[in-house]
Structure 1
Amino acid sequence: MASFEKRSGNWRAIVQRQGHGRLTRTFDTKAQAEAWAATIESEIARGLFVSRTEAENTTLGDLLDRYEREIVFAKKGAQIERYRLNRFRESPLAHRSIASIRGTDLALWRDQRLREVSPATVGREMNILGHVFETARKEWGIALVNPVRDIRRPPAPNARTRRLVDDEQARLVAAAHTYGGEIGALITWAIETAMRRGEIAAMRWEHLDRKDRVLLIPETKNGTPRQVPLSTAALAVLDALPRRLDGRVWSMRPDSISQAFERVCKAAGIEGLTFHDLRHEATSRFFEQGFNPMEVASITGHKTLQMLKRYTHLRAADLAKRIK
């Protein structure tokens, strides 16, 4: 039988069973202590008991710290993941034991975050928190339930469909020429290759095969290297660039590219356009040129056709020209 001790206004439940040692936990009321003891004794009797001591003694903040030390450092997006982990460290939940965190707690956190940031941001934060709990459960052997599974995800935002219209490309090029630096060449390169911003920034001359007109991307977002075929316009961009001593093609980093592009758009009087939209524009143009989905996927690096579909919004007028 379990025993109970009153200590400083609280009640401690004590369960002792052979093979399980001495299990204790403190509660505000005796009723809570009795309910906990009854649950533990029932689980032991049925052979279902799993010690929750580690989960009860580990705060969410502790778990986030271990996840950052052991998991995040090896990820390509380590910097942004650390940023998202810090958002959770700022929450009162970080001081709670992971055994005490329920889906209702995270639902309150979710609703508060939705008043501060976009649904897409909240969804990404939920993804990383869910992975933290799953890693603790599966790889570290901590007995817990993943509370992220119990709550509704924010509705996924509609995929962006922004295309260059009218004379926007010419205006971008003109504004980029006035702005100076590499941004003009980067804009043309992005439209010709559909490469991601990070892939472009990481380009090296050693990965260029000028004879076969292809560029190797050894490290991609999905982890699979790929070769990008280069158009005449893309090759002309490279031919006009000076060779750097460090072997990199571009001097600009990903964030610098986005910042420069925003300034160019402002100078050109263009609203609602991001640098990533140029990848969408390029992908759509490949389809309009008659490439099939598998061919486009081999160029852009999309893993599934469903992922590719999000970037493919063809102009009806261009399709009408192909209808007999």
Structure 2
Amino acid sequence: MASIRKRGQRYHVQVRRIGFATRTKSFTKRSDATEWARLIEGQIDRQELAPCRKTLKDITLADLVTRYRDEVVPTKRGGDVETIVLNSFLRHSICRKVLSELRPSDFAAYRDERLKDRKADGSPKITAKSLKRQLAPVNNMFRHAAVEWEIPLRGNPMDGLKLRVVDQRRERRLRDGEGARLVTAAKKTRNRYVLPIILFAIETAMRRGEILSLRWRDIDLERGSATILETKNGYKRVIPLTDDAMSILTTIRPDDAKPIDLAFPITPVALRQSWDRLTERAKLQDLHFHDLRHEAVSRLFELGLTVPEVASISGHRTLAQLMRYSHANQDTVRAKLSGGSRTKLTGGQEITRIDAPPRRELTD
């Protein structure tokens, strides 16, 4: 804040702001003093003036990361993952640097070091895409520190950091026979909720986190709908349930279920471990749980739903995002190009549009 005092025949101006050096100047006219004070305050607000080195010398990058991890990350969805990422970042020597000495070149060196790190077989330990994802919380931290905490940073040292990311979008769908193998392996899993979750994911195109956070109060079996209150993009959506989806929910619902009870009471870690074991048992190569969402969205288009209808179910906000999850069945496309409604195998056997297991086997 600026203060103007008259001393003798001159007006003495002093501009003080936490984190910046005090600026003083004298003028013969008060109007000139006021104009200069506004100019300096505007430069400080726009981060055009260098911050006070003394303040930044007292704060290390580790101090900033720790505060962000403890105060901000717990309020975010997916905070557990960010906490793990930041804890790993804190172990690196870059975090011992004080903010006054931190430069973009430090993060460039960090990037190069991480990307050069190799496994025993010579393959990279981390890809540019994964590193960019890991550095996202750190980048957000600098922006938060400047705006919310008013720490006088001279810009964001990560601005302009180049990470050459190769587009590795997944187009994995269930191939012939894989659906049946997946169900067979899931039936041998000790946790009774794994198979229903897999089938429910294919029926609804819901994300893993959305399925695991679904409560009975969010489900309306009479109207055949499920409401997702917390989504990845922050928008609530209502999903219409198919007959098979409602059958799954009816089968697993206990008689004493309470509205606040989870429909699928299993932790993300337990589901991940079960998934890894059953895909290995079924000999399914490179199949992720999230690929079931790709499969479900693609099937919705194959059923003839329009783009707005599919988007209302999947929750995608733009067409570009939606198209990343839609991969046409090549047999179906080939059949249409050939003028047929079905594709024939050798011997006349038909390829059905959906390689899905019998839903009623849940009651076996």
For 1:211 and 1:322, how far apart are their aligned partners in 2?
38
Secondary structure, aligned partner of 1:240: helix
For 1:227 and 1:18, how far apart are their aligned partners in 2?
58
Name 1:268's counterpart in structure 2: 282
Letter in 2 for 1:101: L
**2:213 aligned with 1:202, yes or no?**
yes
Q: Residues 119 and 155 of structure 1 are in contact (CA less than 8 Å); yes or no, is this contact kept in structure 2?
A: yes
Letter in 2 for 1:160: R
Name 1:252's counterpart in structure 2: 266
Residue 301 of structure 2 is aligned with which of 265, 284, 287?
287
Structure with larger Rg: 2
Q: Residues 199 and 220 of structure 1 are in contact (CA less than 8 Å); yes or no, is this contact kept in structure 2?
A: yes
Letter in 2 for 1:161: E
Secondary structure, aligned partner of 1:188: helix
Structure 1 position 260, deviation (Å): 0.8
- Within 5 Å, give how 1:139-218 maps onto structure 2: 139-144=148-153, 145-180=155-190, 181-218=192-229
Letter in 2 for 1:179: T
Q: Residues 126 and 148 of structure 1 are in contact (CA less than 8 Å); yes or no, is this contact kept in structure 2?
A: no
Post-superposition CA distance 1:220-275 (Å, at most 9, x none): 11111111111111111111113245621112112211211111111111111011
Post-superposition CA distance 1:112-143 (Å, at most 9, x none): 22233232320112211111111112222222
Name 1:134's counterpart in structure 2: 143
For 2:266 and 2:164, how far apart are their aligned partners in 1?
34
For 1:20 and 1:226, how far apart are their aligned partners in 2?
49
Secondary structure, aligned partner of 1:142: coil
Report sequence identity in percent.
Answer: 35
Secondary structure, aligned partner of 1:147: coil
- Within 5 Å, give how 1:1-324 maps onto structure 2: 49-52=49-52, 53-114=54-115, 115=117, 116-144=125-153, 145-180=155-190, 181-243=192-254, 244=257, 247-322=261-336
For 2:56 and 2:323, how far apart are their aligned partners in 1?
42
Post-superposition CA distance 1:127-169 (Å, at most 9, x none): 1111111111222222222111121023144111111001000
TM-score by length of 2: 0.73
For 1:238 and 1:204, how far apart are their aligned partners in 2?
11
Post-superposition CA distance 1:177-201 (Å, at most 9, x none): 1224221111111111111111111
TM-score by length of 1: 0.82
When the two chains are superposed, the root-mean-square deviation of aligned CA atoms in Å is: 2.5
For 2:101 and 2:316, how far apart are their aligned partners in 1?
40
In structure 1, list runs of 5 or more residues that go unmatched: 1-16, 24-42
For 1:154 and 1:89, how far apart are their aligned partners in 2?
24
Post-superposition CA distance 1:281-316 (Å, at most 9, x none): 101111111112221111011122211121111123
Q: Residues 122 and 154 of structure 1 are in contact (CA less than 8 Å); yes or no, is this contact kept in structure 2?
A: no
Post-superposition CA distance 1:17-57 (Å, at most 9, x none): 9757996xxxxxxxxxxxxxxxxxxx99x996343333332
For 1:256 and 1:295, how far apart are their aligned partners in 2?
33
